[in-house]
Chain A
Amino acid sequence: MRRAPGRRLPHPGALVALALAVLAAAAFGALIAAAQDRPSVLALDAYLRRILVFSLAQAALSTVLSLALGAALALALARRRFPGRGLALAALGAAAVMPAIVVVFSVVAVYGRSGWLAVGLEATGLTLRPDPFGWPGILLAHVFLNAALATRVYLDALSRAPAEHWRLAAILGFGARATFAHLDRPILMRETPGLAGLVFLLCFTSFAIVLTLGGGPGKATLEVAIFSALRVELDFARAAMLAGVQLAICLSLTLVLHWAVTRAPVVPTERLPIARPDAGDPRLRRLDRAVLALGGALVLPILAATLEGAAALPRVFDRDLAHAATTSVAIALVSAVLACAMAIALAGAAQAARSRRRGRLAAAYDVLPALVLAIPPFALTAGLFLLLRGRVGPTQAGFLLLPLVNAIGALPFAYRFLAPALATSAERHGRLAALLGLTGLRRIAIVDWPVLRRPLAGAFAFAAALSFGDFGIVALFGGTELRTVPYLLYERLGAYRLDEAAAIGLLLVAAAFALSAFATRMARC
C-alpha cells in the first residue's frame, strides 16, 4: 500500500475528531434551534445562580476532602505492610468503580433514617436521627467514590518513585520529615492538579448522586437541572442554556489544567525496591493507623451494605432482570467497542503527528478525549434526539444514543489505557517498522498488536464497566420498553422495594468489580 507523496489520506483519528466535533455542534445547534420559540428564559435567574453556587461549592469541598483522604491513605498504604493490605487495596478498587446509583443506595442503607447507624444509635440509647439527604449524603457519596480513586492514583505514582532515590534516602539518612519533603510530597504535588481537575469535573457534573440524595430544589447540579428541564419541564431552551453554562465551565477548567500539568520524565530503572526509611517512625505509625481506620470506617460499611442484597437475590431473577441485563450487556459491548476504536484512532493520529514532528497537533489529539468529558451528556443526547425526532421513536432513539453517549463518556478512560501503549510501541519499533516499510494493517498486526493487546483488553473491560453501571441518560429514555440494570434498580428504589434494589445493586457491583479488576490486571502487563 504505497501512496504517492503529497497525497495523504486523512488519518482515521482525524475523522473521529471531526465526527465528535460535528456531533457536539449538531446537538447544540438542535437545542438552540428548539429554543428559538421561547428566548425569554435565557436569563441567568436566581435559581440558576443558586444551583451554580451549590454545584461549585459541593464539587470543591468534595475534591478537597477526597484528595486529602486519598493522599493520607496512599501514604499509609505505601508505608505499611500488614495482613489484609491486599484486601484493603481490593476494597478501594471496588469502591472506586462502584456505580453511583448503588453508592446512593448503600449510603441510605447505612446512614438513612432506619439505616445501620440509626439502629446502632438507638441501641445505645441515643435519639440522634441521621439524615443523609442534602449536603452530608452528597459529600459522603462523592468522597467515598473519589477518595478511593485518588488513593489508587496516588499510590500508583508513589510506587513509581525511582529506586535510586530510596537508596540515596537511606545513605543520606533521611528521617520521616525529609522522606516526606523530598520523596513523597513532590510526587503527590505532581499528581494533584490533574487528579483534582478530574475529581472536580466528576463531582461538578455528578448526576445520579445529586438527583437522589439532593433532597431539595436548591441542591442540584447543572446536570440534574438539565435533566429536569428536559424530562420534567420539556423546556429545551432552558436545557440548552444550562448545558452552555456547564460546557463553558468544564471546558475552561479542562484546558487550563491540561496546559498547567507538565510531567518531568523519570528514567525507569530495574533496581529492586528497598524498605522505606520512615517505616519505623512511631508518630507516623500512629498517624497511619488512624488514617487507615478512618478510611476503613468510610469505605467498608458502604461496601458491606451492598452485601445486604444477597438475601433477596433469588427474587430478582425474573424476566425484567433478564431483559434489562441483555439490554445493558448489549449497550456495554457496543459502547466499549466504539470507545476503544475511537481511542485507538485518536492515539494513532497523535502518534503519527508526533513522528512528523507536529507537536501541537499531537497535543491537540491528546487533549481531545479529556475535552469530551466537558460535554454534558444530557445536552448531547437531547440535541441528537431532537435531530432524530420524527424519524425514529423515543425507544429506538434510546437504543441508538445510549451506546454512543456512553462510548463518548468512556473515551477519556480508554484513551488513558491505550495511548501510552501505542507510544511505547512507536518508540520501540517505530523506526524499524518504517525501515522495513511496514505500514497500515500489516504494521498494526506485526508491530502494534502485541503491545496493544493487553491494554486493549483493559480499556475494553473498563469502558464496558462504566457503561454497564451508568445511570445517566437512561433516565431520559427509561420506561417499560427500554430498561438497563441501573434503571431497574432506580425503579425498585422508587417503588420502595428496597431489598430487591439491594440485590440488583449487588449484581451491578459484582459486574463492575470483576470488569475493573480484569482491566487493572491487563493494564499492568
Chain B
Amino acid sequence: MLIVDACRLAWPDFETLYALEAPSGSMLAIVGPSGGGKTTLLSMIAGFETPVSGRLAFDGRDLLPLSPAERPVAMMFQDNNLFAHLTAAQNVALGIRPSLRLAEADRARVAEALAAVDLAGLEARRPEQLSGGQRQRVALARALVSRKPLLLLDEPFGALDPGLRREMIAIVDDLRRARGITVLITIHTPEDVLDRADALAFVARGRVLVQDAPRAALDPTRDPAIAAFVGHAAPAKS
C-alpha cells in the first residue's frame, strides 16, 4: 500500500497538500488540469521534492529519509527517457547496473524484459533508430529489470497516437498484473484508462480533490474543477 498523508510542499507561489492511497498491485490514474500539481506529486514520491510535513510510506516503509535511488521507485517520462549514445539493451541494463558491467544472468534478464515489451531482436538499436512507441517500451523494460515495485509514469504516452497510446497502456496493465507492480500514471486523456485503472485521483490546485473508482471520480457534480476539466474533455470522448 502506498500512503501519501498530508504531504505539504511550499513555494512562494504554489502550495500542495496531498493525500491519497493506492493498494499494492493496483493502477491509480492521476488526472487534472495542467499546473494543478500532478507532476509535483510524482516528483515527491520519487524523492526529487521533499515535503515540509506529512507522511509518505510504501508497504509499511517510510520513504522520506530515502534517496531517489534507495526508494522502491521506477519512473518514466514523456520524453528523454533514453540515453542517445546507448543501445536499447544498454539503456535497459542501466536499470540493473549503471556501470553496464553485466553478468550472464543479468544479460538474460535484459533480453527477457525486452521480449516482455515485444522488442526482441531490437537490442542493438539506438534510440534514434526506434519509433516513439518503441522508445517508451525500452524505458518500460528498464523499469521492469530494476525490480522496483512502484512504477511512476509521468504523461508517458502523451506524444503517441490514440491507438498506440491504448496499446501501451494495455502493455503496462498486463505487466503490472503479471508482476504485481503498483502503477501511478498521470494522463491527459482519462478515457484511455477508464477500463484499466482501479482508481482515479483528480488533482487540482495542489490537492487531491477526489479519489474514487475512475468513472465516479470524474462526476462533474463533485467539484467545479472536475466539471471544467470534463467539459473540455467531453468532445474527445464521443
Contact = CB atoms under 8 A, between A and B. Distances in A.
Given A171-B46, A178-B98, A164 B84 contact: no
A186 B80 contact: no
B86 interface: yes
A269 B48 CA distance: 16
Contacts of A171: 46-47, 68-69, 71, 73-75
A165 interface: yes
Contacts, number: 68
A50 to B, nearest CB: 42
Interface in A246-305: 264, 266-267, 269, 271, 274, 277
Nearest to B96: A172
A274 B81 contact: no
A261 to B, nearest CB: 15
Interface in B19-64: 39, 43, 46-48
Contacts of B146: 172
A177 interface: yes
A170 to B, nearest CB: 4
Nearest to A265: B128
Given A167-B48, A167-B77, A168-B75, A173 B84 contact: no
A174 interface: yes
B98 A170 contact: no
Given A167-B46, A170-B68, A173-B98, A267 B75 contact: no
B80 A170 contact: no
A167 B85 contact: no
Interface residues of B, number: 27
Interface residues on A, range: 20 to 34
B99 A177 contact: yes
Nearest to B75: A171
A175 B97 CA distance: 11
A164 B43 CA distance: 11
B47 A170 contact: yes
Contacts of A182: 83, 85-86, 94, 98
B98 A174 contact: yes
A174 B97 CA distance: 9
B143 to A, nearest CB: 10
25 contacts: A162-B79, A163-B80, A165-B80, A167-B43, A167-B75, A167-B77, A168-B94, A170-B48, A170-B67, A170-B69, A171-B46, A171-B47, A171-B68, A171-B69, A171-B73, A172-B95, A173-B69, A175-B98, A178-B99, A182-B83, A186-B83, A186-B85, A189-B85, A267-B80, A269-B80
Interface of A: 162-165, 167-168, 170-175, 177-178, 181-183, 186, 189, 264, 266-267, 269, 271, 274, 277
